[in-house]
Amino acid sequence: MLARKSIIPEEYVLARIAAENLRKPRVRDRPRKARFIAKNGACNLAHKNIREQGRFLQDIFTTLVDLKWRHTLVIFTMSFLCSWLLFAMVWWLVAFAHGDMDRIDNSKGSANWTPCVTDVGSFTSAFLFSIEVQVTIGFGGRMMTEECPTAITVLILQNIVGLIINAVMLGCIFMKTAQAHRRAETLIFSRHAVIAVRNGRLCFMFRVGDLRKSMIISASVRIQAVKKTTTPEGEIIPIHQLDIPVDNPIESNNIFLVAPLIICHIIDKRSPLYDISPSDLVNQDLELIVILEGVVETTGITTQARTSYIAEEILWGHRFVPIVTEEEGVYAVDYSKFGNTIKVAAPRCSARELDEKPSILIQTLQKSELSHQNSLRKRNSMRRNNSIRRNNSMRRTNSSLMVPKVQFITPEGNQSASET
């Protein structure tokens, strides 16, 4: 269109189209593996072709708690409406069987007639009376008499049914609002995990913290590796789980989560990361699942927080920055740096190669120390040069501000020098 209007030359347009057609096709990246556990802790799992769905009704309370809020509110509303309508029909039948419908107009004038329920002459009035009985409103216009034993029985049944519905629905709503995963919303993990050298060993590390002041009692951390494996017999296991030990001096997974902690796993012969180098990590079909469990201090409910790290989220040769400082006798935590990392010296080989050749670590540390010294020399040299430039500029400024001496000649012929 632009070529037709002579805005762009036609030769340029044709050359551009030819270049786009001859452009090499883009190479698609390796398909990304589906996560087993999402970053927010949700399980990425879909259940299909469940035949015995009646098993869910055997534990109806758990089924109601697991439902979404909109479904729970719909069931809550429909339960009350159905019970009101059902007993409204029963009250209408009681009044109809007793003949109250025919005498409702003359009941006030007849002293010998006593209805089962006063002022119930239609289904609408029976529905209103059903609501008043079950909710115990008691407006006073409609009330039951001693005339009909059947009406007394219906009154007792409706009260029992109303109490059961209230207990189940209120208990369900309470359990949904006090579920353990609500407390897990304030348990946070670092977005990335790191692999670096600690105490002469390669370690897999991540950071965990609690945003609330109320503590998690008996907190423990577990790490599991999930990957697809094939047995020597040819069996394919799509989700093969391996427990990964956590480095702890007391040989347990318990932690004291009063401040953010860096959880460390030493990559040794038992670790699935033992044969993985930085170049192999990119192509690894591996997912590391982190599970934090504990008891909520305020409610006593056991809670669990989960997250996972895939190969793209593991930084080799990085370390977490410190975020806990002591200020005026109080330990302060800067959560703005919770997931920040810095690059550190780390061998570019697997833990197995590092165990077989310990000199690799020594060479890496020596190179790191040498580069650190060189950077310090450069930094000191830059500071020295900046200081010299600053002093020279100050000298030039002072020399430009100096006032020359001026000689004054007095009438007596004497010369006097003064500075102005």
User: Would you state the structure tokens that stand for residue 222, as one six-digit string?
Assistant: 């577990």
Same domain, 110 and 241: no
Pairing state of beta strands 314-316 and 193-198?
parallel
Q: Give the DSSP letter of residue 262.
A: E
Same domain, 153 and 196: no
Residue range 60-67: average pLDDT? 84
Same domain, 226 and 102: no
Report the CATH number at residue 162.
1.10.287.70
HSE-up (13 A, CA, CB side) for residue 45: 7
Same domain, 71 and 136: yes
Residue 7 has pLDDT above 50, yes or no: no
Give the pLDDT band of residue 83 (cuts 50, 70, 90): very high
pTM (predicted TM-score): 0.66
Same domain, 97 and 232: no
Report the CATH number at residue 245.
2.60.40.1400
Residue range 350-376: average pLDDT? 68
Kindly report which listed range (177-186, 287-296, 403-412) carries the lowest average pLDDT score: 403-412
Instruction: Supply the mean pLDDT for the chain.
Output: 79
Same domain, 148 and 204: no
User: Would you state the structure tokens that stand for residue 240, as one six-digit string?
Assistant: 């093969």
Residue 355 and residue 202: Cα distance in Å, rounded?
A: 10
- Which three-class secondary structure state does DSSP give residue 216? strand
- In angstroms, what CA-CA distances link 347 with 36, 149, 198, 350, 368? 30, 89, 12, 8, 10
Residue 216 and residue 183: Cα distance in Å, rounded?
A: 10
Supply φ then ψ for residue 207, to 5 degrees.
-115, 140
- The most confident of the ranges 11-15, 60-64, 220-224 is 220-224
Find the domain containing 134 and state its range: 67-177
Q: What share of the chain is helix, strand, coil (3-state, %, to 5)?
A: 40, 25, 35
Same domain, 234 and 342: yes
Same domain, 199 and 304: yes
295-337 residue pLDDT tens: 988 888 888 999 999 988 999 999 999 999 888 888 899 999 9
Same domain, 146 and 194: no
Number of domains the chain is built from: 2
Q: Give the DSSP letter of residue 248.
A: -
CB atoms within 10 A of CB 88: 23
Of 133, 149, 177, the residue at which a domain comes to its end is 177
90-140 residue pLDDT tens: 999 988 888 777 766 554 545 577 788 887 888 888 899 899 888 877 766
User: Would you state the structure tokens that stand for residue 85, as one six-digit string?
Assistant: 């309508």
Same domain, 201 and 331: yes
Same domain, 207 and 335: yes
Alpha carbon 232 to its chain's center: 39
Of 150, 177, 204, the residue at which a domain comes to its end is 177
Same domain, 236 and 337: yes
Of 329, 357, 385, the residue at which a domain comes to its end is 357
